[in-house]
Chains A and B, each alone.
Chain A
Amino acid sequence: MFGNLSRQDWVMFLGFSAVVLLAPILFQPIGAAYPAILEKFCIFGLFAIGFNILFGLTGYLSFGHAAFLGIGSYAAVWSFKLFTMNVIPAIILSIIFAGIFAFVIGFVSLRRSGIYFSILTLAFAQMSYNMAYSVLTPLTNGETGLQLTLKDPRIVDAMFITPGTGLPRSTLFGLEISGGGLGGFYFTAAALIVGFYISMRIFRSPFGLMLKAIKSNQNRMRYTGFNTRPYLMAAFVISGIYAGLAGSLMAAVDPLAGPERMQWTASGEVVLMTILGGVGTLIGPVIGAAIIKYFENIFSGFNENALNSVFSFLPDTLRDPIVKLLSLFVGEGWSLTLGLVFMAIVIFLPGGIMEGVRLLTSLFKKGGNGNKPAVSGQTQPAE
């Protein structure tokens, strides 16, 4: 079973797992060691990994992946409402629903490629968003968002335990997942590691090779007698399932589902994450996701007071203009900072952060090593 993974892959996998599991300690210095943001890193990392299976391997750019994220969330919250607060059934239900939706949307969208495929997926995602927003209000509770209430039946839970006062928290057989403890983080971290492992297996498998072949020349694939549709379909459904899983984890750590999760901006965000980290690389999307979520959480929380105290060592005349200028880029203006970083990366490192890492390592190795193809057979991103 572990045959097609090289030694290098294993080192990478173990290193990745170690970093993820030790994140509450490692991220302490940059102020990102609290559960809510660590959970976000894991969840959006998983989302981006799944997206990368489609975009990185086949080159099909989906602009509607947030729809699956939203569907996963709604399915999970309904599972919490109807059956049990245990997260396992919620996750299974989300995966099933996201898979079905991915199959249906993929069936139609994959008839086209390139920009037409992107537009079709975008259209489906916007349709899902609008349905969740207004048409399906009884199912989704519209803009207000689907939430747990005291009146929910929770059939399975009601059979085994007497409900306590107040709203229950989501659990994994007694371990609290929601409610802001580290339990939620370790649960999402485990999911991320499993998801990463599966994605690595796919990248290294013959199936992954097929997908890469589709990316480099689909016509040639067809001429050699391969039907590319089933491969594309499988990649699309797998990546939809990843998104659904991410959505259900979002609901597990915070039992609420709102339609804005399905909006096109959310779909665009995962594209940004993947490109920022490095399209077609294994770790890149996770790094991209972490960076974007870090910017969103940390920079949006800065305000003028925080800046004033940071620059308190400067004299007033110098401090005021600096704080005025910098306050444009923090708080509500955090997306401006993100935009600048994104532009810098795309212009100077079109392969994302992973290309930067590769350039650095080849710089440290022998000079001539740089143009040798990577041992693991990694594709050049953004070709």
Chain B
Amino acid sequence: MSKLIINRRGLLKAGAVGGVALATPMHFIRGAYAADQSCNMPTGANVVFGFNVPLSGPYADEGADELKAYQLAVKHLNGEGDGGMLSTFSSKALKGKGILGKKVTFVSGDTQTKADAARDSAKRMIEKEKAIMITGGSSSAEAVAVQSLCQDMGVIFMSCLTHSNDTTGKDKKRYGFRHFFNAYMSGVALGPVLAEAYGKDRKAYHLTADYTWGWTQEESMKKSTEAQGWKTVNAVRTPLGAGDFSQYLTPVLSSGADVLILNHYGKDMVNSLTQAVQFGMRQKQVGGKNFEIVVPLFSELMAQGAGDAIKGIYGTANWDWKLDNDGTKAFVKSFGKEYGTPPSQAAQTAYVQAILYADACERAGTFFAPAVIKALEGFEFDGLGNGKTLYRGSDHQCFKDVLVVQGKEKPKDKFDLLEVKKIVPTKDVTYDPAIFGGDLGPADAKTCG
């Protein structure tokens, strides 16, 4: 009695219908395009930037600050406001009249601190809103995911807050560029400072955010501390956005370790550090030594979130608003005038990436992606807050000084939380790109739909 039995006539009918359905898309195979066209080249009076930042999830605070900086950069590119770092930038191609005579506009999207959502949002900006360039990302998982999407679509991705070695290492892409420093540089910069402050005979316990950034930072920190004679007792992975870290913190004290290294960022780091301090870890003595906590990567925003817990903690930073150079001063001034607070390091990277892309287009004289990539590769510049900087062509990583910072014991106000302990010069943190492997892939132009 079942009607699901298939007879010959039905099969033929279904076959014919299916055939038509399958043949339909064949009409939509894209054809060849003109030679010097790449994805979303602007045709009107405007050029669209896509700002893809987390506005929810554990890195939401950073994302909000990035978006502010991007908006400021767009203003300065269009000649509004005081021009910020454009006046101190070593390249004078940008004149505050947009890019190549086109006014800069932007669209934004929420990545939710998730790789999937970040890709969706980037896709929307590329396909619907015709963004010529995507920038943002406040987690390396996002950056790696969006970067490979951009490579596929032929749209340049100027990554913002991504610190994993993989972004410009094993997962590097021809269309992806990173201004921020990476975990390897943090390790190299921080290792000697830690050994000097806490001695060479230490046992470290790592708590690590369980994704690409955490993994590579753990690896880099292990390597650099072990080179100083430290031992690694254990390394435990914690899920991103865990909220409550007490179950991971309890075993630390009984493990015999005397240093806790928190490879956490954003709200995760605020939570884990605060909870570690509440556990009384910093008053503990292990084997006659004071128990210490290290957070290899932190920022002003996180320091604000962690409050008193940050005092005396060592870490590294890409940039700090108290640095003494012209670029920094100009940027802090115009950011402060616009929003009333000093910018975070995330904001600085965001701003600089937008400016660098605009400048590369202007110097290349076109928006054609392969030409812009060529203009960025091996580009040396100064005056954007980090001193002399090189965009290395072989892995699209920026090389510049790295700051070792420490939480201030007596902050003047809520923005004066970090003290720059040491500026590690570029040559000390430069490495051979071959150590991480990976392949940039081709720079051929693509047309997106």
Contacts and interface: CB of A to CB of B under 8 A. Distances in A.
Interface of A: 1-4, 21, 31, 34-37, 40, 133-134, 137, 142-145, 147-150, 165-167, 169, 172, 174-176, 178-183, 186-187, 190, 193-194, 201, 205-207, 254, 256, 258, 260-261, 297, 300-301, 303, 305, 331-332, 334
A256 B124 contact: no
Contacts of B4: 201, 205, 207
B107 A301 contact: yes
Contacts of B24: 21, 186, 190
B14 A1 contact: yes
B114 A260 contact: yes
Contacts of A4: 3
Contact of B441 (A143, A167, A178): A167
Interface string B17-40: 010011011101110000000000
A3 B239 contact: no
Interface in B161-214: 171, 174, 210-212
Contacts of B239: 133-134, 143
Contact of A144 (B21, B22, B127, B212): B212
Contacts of B121: 300-301
Contacts of A144: 115, 140-141, 144-145, 211-212
Nearest to B26: A175
B10 A145 contact: no
Given A143-B115, A207-B4, A35 B127 contact: yes
A34 B18 CA distance: 25
B17 to A, nearest CB: 9
A144 to B, nearest CB: 4
B13 interface: yes
B2 A182 contact: no
Nearest to B175: A166
A143 B13 contact: no
25 contacts: A1-B7, A1-B13, A3-B3, A34-B128, A35-B127, A133-B239, A142-B211, A143-B210, A144-B141, A144-B211, A145-B116, A147-B145, A165-B444, A175-B26, A179-B153, A180-B127, A180-B153, A183-B29, A186-B24, A201-B4, A256-B148, A258-B145, A261-B116, A301-B121, A305-B106
Contacts of B30: 176, 181
B110 A300 contact: yes
Contacts of B328: none
A24 B145 CA distance: 27
A178 B149 CA distance: 10
Contact of B21 (A133, A150, A193): A193
A145 B14 CA distance: 38
Given A172-B25, A205-B3, 11 more contacts: A134-B237, A142-B210, A144-B211, A175-B25, A181-B30, A256-B149, A300-B109, A300-B121, A301-B128, A331-B55, A332-B110
A26 to B, nearest CB: 16
A182 B28 contact: yes
B350 interface: no
B1 interface: yes
A178 B441 CA distance: 18
B435 interface: no
Given A134-B239, A143-B210, A332 B26 contact: no
Given A254-B119, A301-B129, A332 B55 contact: yes
Which 10 pairs from chain A and chain B are nearest by CB? A1-B10, A186-B25, A143-B211, A332-B55, A165-B442, A36-B123, A34-B127, A34-B128, A144-B212, A166-B441
B134 interface: no
Interface residues of B, number: 67
A181 B151 contact: no
Contacts of B7: 1
A34 B152 CA distance: 17
Contact of A175 (B6, B29, B60, B108): B29
B126 interface: yes
B72 to A, nearest CB: 13
A352 B152 CA distance: 39
A301 B441 contact: no
B283 to A, nearest CB: 32
A36 B124 contact: yes
Nearest to B129: A301
Contacts of B9: 1
Interface string B232-243: 000001011000
B9 to A, nearest CB: 7
A46 to B, nearest CB: 15
Contacts of A2: 10, 13
B55 A180 contact: no
Contacts of A40: 120
A172 to B, nearest CB: 8
Nearest to B67: A303
A133 B127 contact: no
Given A147-B144, A147-B145, A205-B4, A167 B25 contact: no
A297 B210 contact: no
A254 B149 contact: yes
Contacts of A260: 114-117
B445 to A, nearest CB: 12
A247 to B, nearest CB: 12
A239 B123 CA distance: 29
Contacts of B448: 179-180
B439 interface: yes
A80 to B, nearest CB: 13
A297 B120 contact: yes
Contacts of A176: 29-30
A382 B2 CA distance: 28
Contacts of B3: 1, 3-4, 205-206
Given A1-B10, A190-B25, A256 B119 contact: yes
A201 B140 CA distance: 46
B365 interface: no
B120 A206 contact: no
Nearest to B10: A1
Contacts of A37: 124, 128
Nearest to A253: B123
Nearest to A164: B442
- Which interface residue of A137, A142, A175 has the most chain B CB atoms within 10 A? A142
B449 interface: yes
Given A143-B210, A190-B21, A166 B151 contact: yes
Contacts of A186: 24-25, 28
B145 A256 contact: yes
Nearest to B9: A1
Contact of B210 (A134, A145, A187): A134
Contacts of B45: none
A258 B120 CA distance: 12
B128 A31 contact: yes
Nearest to A4: B3
Contacts of A206: 1-3
Contacts of B11: 1
Contacts of B126: 180
Contacts of B21: 190, 193-194
